[in-house]
Amino acid sequence: MHLLKPTLAYLFLLISLSWSANLFAQNETASCGTTVSQQSLEFYNSIKPQLKKYEQAFMQKQLAKNPSHTILNNSIPIKAHVIRSSKGTGGICEADLNTAINNLNSMYADAYMEFFLCDGINYIDEDSLCHLKKGDEKTLVESNNVAGLINIYFADSIENEKDESICGYADNEGRNDVIVVKNSCVTNDSTLAHEIGHFFSLAHTHGADDALTTELVDGSNCDTNGDGICDTPADPKLTTKNVNNFCQYTGTETDANGDAYTPDTSNIMSYSRKGCRSHFSQQQLARMYAYYLTVKNYLACPTFNANFTADVVQTCDESLTVNFQSSCKNISKWAWDVDSDGVIDYTTQNPTHTFTTGIYDVTLTVSTKSKHIKKTYSKLIKVGDAVTLFNDDFESYHLQSDVNWTAKDVTEHGYNWLLNKGETTSVNTGPILTKTTQNQTNTYMYAEASGAQAGDIAELISPCMDIVNPNSELEFSYHMFGKNIGELHVDIKTDAGYINDVIPAIIGSQQKHQDDAFIIKNIDLAAYTNQTINLRFRAIRGSGWDGDMAIDNIFIKTIDIPITNDTVKIYPNPVNGKTIHVAFSNPHDAVNYQLSDLTGNVVLTGNLTDKQIHIGNLTSGMYLLTIRSNGNTVTKKVIK
C-alpha cells in the first residue's frame, strides 16, 4: 500500500514512541506523535454502534467463562521484514523475534488474539535502511508489503522528524498495516504490545499529548475524554519524572474539580516506565477485540487461513445453490456455519448448500492439531429481493462489510473495490475533493491499485434491479485520475448471462486534475424492460500504483421524453360517458391536466395517475384539455 500521504484515518494513526534501552534509567522518556484528525474522530463515532455490539459480546464471554467451553482465538498474521546490512549481516535474530511474539501473545491472550509469523521472514539487505528516519518506510512498502498482513519492519535505529531516537511507530491508514520497530526495543519490552494496541485503535491513557488530560478523576466524562475507555483511570501523562522505580505515581496534579489523579502506572498504553507496563484493562481488551472484528477482520495468512471461495454468491431468483471450497492446505477440521446463526451446518471441506431468499453471513472455522482460525464473511450470499427504485450513493455505509454490493477480487492479488471517504491512500491518484454535481464530499467505492499487479481484475456487482419502465436510464459518476489508470468496464447481467461493455470501456486518466469533479455517465436501459438485472463495474488495474479509480451516485431514473400531439391520444371523443381516457406512446412521470371551456374558465384540474379523467355530469359542449409533463404541454379539443 502506498504511504506517501495519509488520508482516511481509522482512529489513531502514525504513532511515534521513544524510550531508552535501560529498563529503569532516569533519562527514560516517552513521546508520541499521534495525530487524531476530525475525519478520524468522525469515522470512530460512525462505527461506535458496531464496536459496542462486539464489546458487549466480549464482556458476556468473560462473564460466562466455562472450562468445558473453548473460546477460539482470532489468529492474526504478522509478516516480519528484517533490515540488515548489504552483506546480509546484523538485524534482529529469529530467536529474539519468536520470543517477542510469545511475549506479545501472553499480553493479548485475554483479548482472544494470538499472533503468528506468516511464511517466514523477509530479509532486506540494504545499508542505507539500517538507520531509518520516520517516513523512509515509504521506500520499503511498495516492494515489500504483503497485503492482508500486519507488516512489521525491524531496524537497528529509528529517528523521528526532529532527529530524536525512537522505538517505533505504526500506520494502519486504510489497509497500510505497517509497524516499524527498533531492534533493541523488541524483546523483554512492552513496546511491541503498545504498538499493536494503537494498531487496534487504542489511544494513550492520557489522551492528548500537548495538554493535561480533560478526563475527570470521578469518571463522569470517561467515555468521551482521555482515551475514551472508562476502566482506565484519568492519566495526567505519566513519565519517568512522576513514576518512580517501584512503579508508584509521585505526581501531585489535580483535575478540573480539584481531585488528585490516581493513574494506572502498569497500563501498557500509558507513558509509564516500560518495566512497569504489563497489562491492558478489560475494556481495552474488549475494544481491541471489537475493532479487529469490525475493521481488521480481513487479515489472513495465505498458507494458513479460514478463507474460502464460492462458485456463486448472488442471484435474483428465489433460491441459490452454492458450492463452497476451502483450499488452504494442512487443515484437519472444518466447521461451516453457512447462515451465521451459531449452529454448525457442515464439517466437510467443501460443502454444498441451497439458500432461499435473503442475505447471509457465512462463518468458517478451520483447525490443525494446535491452532484454530475463525472467519466470518459478512453479507456474502444474496438471494432474490429485487428492487424497482434503485438509488445508492454509499452514504449509509460506514464499513466495507455494510455495503450491499458484492465486491470480488477476481485475480486474488489483493485488487478490490473498497469503501472510502475523502482521499485514497496514494498521492497523485484518486479523487481529492470527491466532488459531485452538488460539490459535496461523499462516500464512494474505489479500486485501490497499490499492492496489486498490472492486469488484475476487481468486480463490483449491484443488488438485483427490476426494470419496469421502457424509458429507464442508469446514471453513475466516476473519477479516474492518475498516471497509470487502467480500464473501467460496465456490464449488465440478465437471465441469459452477462452482457459485457454495454458502453465503451473507459480507459486511462479521464480528469485533467486530481480535484476535478466526478464525471457523470448515463446508460439507456430500454433493452432490459421487464427484466431483472445486475450491474457490474469491472476494473482492470493499470501498470502502476497510481491508478485508483472511483464510482459514486448510482441510480435508475426515467428519461425525459417530450410529449407531442402525436404521442398523446384521448378517447372516446366525442365523450359519451363520464370518463376521458388518455394514452401515451411512451410512459411519463408527473403528468397533470386542466380542462377549460372555450372562454378560458377552468372546470377541472388534477394529476393523471390512472390515465383517466373523470368528468362527472359535465354539460355538453366543446372544451380544451391541456396535458403537462416535465415542462411540455399538449392541448386537445374535447367534445361532450
**148-174 per-position pLDDT tens digit:** 899 999 999 888 878 888 888 887 766
pLDDT category at 559 given cuts 50, 70, 90 is confident
- For residue 68, pLDDT over 50 is answered with no
- For residue 460, pLDDT over 50 is answered with yes
Query: Mean of the pLDDT values across residues 19-33?
Result: 39
Specify the range with the lowest mean pLDDT, choosing from 260-264, 392-396, 589-593, 599-603: 589-593
More reliable by pLDDT, 133 or 463: 463
CATH 3.40.390 correct for 1-64+73-202+281-301 = yes
Specify the range with the lowest mean pLDDT, choosing from 61-75, 446-460, 545-559: 61-75
The pLDDT score that the predictor gives to residue 20 is 31
More reliable by pLDDT, 587 or 198: 198
For residue 287, CA distances in Å to 206, 339, 425, 533 come to: 17, 26, 25, 41
Identical fold, 386-559 and 568-639: no
pLDDT category at 42 given cuts 50, 70, 90 is low
Residues 6+ apart with CB under 8 A from 352: 321, 322, 323, 324
The pLDDT score that the predictor gives to residue 321 is 96
The pLDDT score that the predictor gives to residue 534 is 94
| Phi, psi dihedral angles at 466 (to 5 degrees) | -95, 125
Exposure of 462 by Cβ count < 10 A (0-12 exposed, 13-18 middle, 19+ buried)? buried
Q: What are the cell numbers at 585?
A: 406512446
Sheet holding 178-182, edge to edge: 15-17, 168-171, 178-182, 150-155, 74-84, 113-125
CATH number corresponding to 386-559: 2.60.120.200
**Structure confidence by residue, pLDDT tens digits, 289-310:** 988 888 888 888 887 888 888 9
**CATH class (in words) of the domain with range 568-639:** mainly beta
Render the burial of 314-353: b for 16+ CB within 10 Å, e for the rest. Answer: bbbeeebebebebebeebeebbbbbbeeeeeebeebebeb
The pLDDT score that the predictor gives to residue 170 is 81
pTM: 0.59
- For residue 75, pLDDT over 90 is answered with no
**Structure confidence by residue, pLDDT tens digits, 381-419:** 999 888 888 899 988 887 777 788 998 888 877 788 988
- For residue 489, pLDDT over 90 is answered with yes
Give the Cα separation of 436 and 441 in Å (integer): 8
Q: What are the cell numbers at 214?
A: 480533560
- For residue 551, pLDDT over 70 is answered with yes
Specify the range with the lowest mean pLDDT, choosing from 59-68, 105-114, 127-136: 59-68
Give the Cα separation of 71 and 59 in Å (integer): 13
Q: What is the per-residue DSSP string for 390-441?
A: -EE-STT--SGGG-SSEEEETTSSS--EEEEESS-SSTTSS-SS---TT---
Exposure of 220 by Cβ count < 10 A (0-12 exposed, 13-18 middle, 19+ buried)? exposed
Domain boundaries, the chain: 1-64+73-202+281-301, 211-279, 317-384, 386-559, 568-639
**Structure confidence by residue, pLDDT tens digits, 368-377:** 877 777 788 8
More reliable by pLDDT, 588 or 10: 588
Fold of 317-384: Immunoglobulin-like (2.60.40)
The pLDDT score that the predictor gives to residue 28 is 45
The pLDDT score that the predictor gives to residue 12 is 34
Query: Mean of the pLDDT values across residues 206-228?
Result: 87
Q: Average pLDDT, whole number, for the chain?
A: 84
